[in-house]
Amino acid sequence: MAVLGRDELLKRIRQGIIKVEPFSEAQVGPASIDLHLDHTFRVFYGRPHVHHVNDEANYEDITQLIDVDDHFLLEPGQVVHGITRERITLPDNLCGWLQGRSRFARVGLMVHITAAFVQPGISNRQVLEMMNAGPVTLAIHPGIAVCQLIIEELLGHGHYAGRFKDQELP
- Does residue 55 belong to any structural domain of this protein? no
Strand partners, 110: 131
DSSP 3-state of 157? coil
pLDDT tens for 66-120 read 999 999 999 999 999 999 999 999 999 999 999 999 999 999 999 988 878 999 9
pLDDT exceeds cutoff 80 at 27? yes
| In-domain check, residue 76 | yes
Based on the structure, what is the number of domains in the chain? 1
At residue 99, φ and ψ (nearest 5 deg) are -130, 140
The CATH number of the domain holding residue 68 is: 2.70.40.10
Active site residues per annotation = 129
- Give pLDDT, residue 165: 59
Structural domain including 113 reads 6-46+60-153
Task: Report yes or no on 144 lying in a domain.
Answer: yes
Measured between its terminal Cα atoms, the distance across the chain in Å is 30
In a domain, residue 158? The reply is no
Q: Which uninterrupted H or E stretch holds 121?
A: none
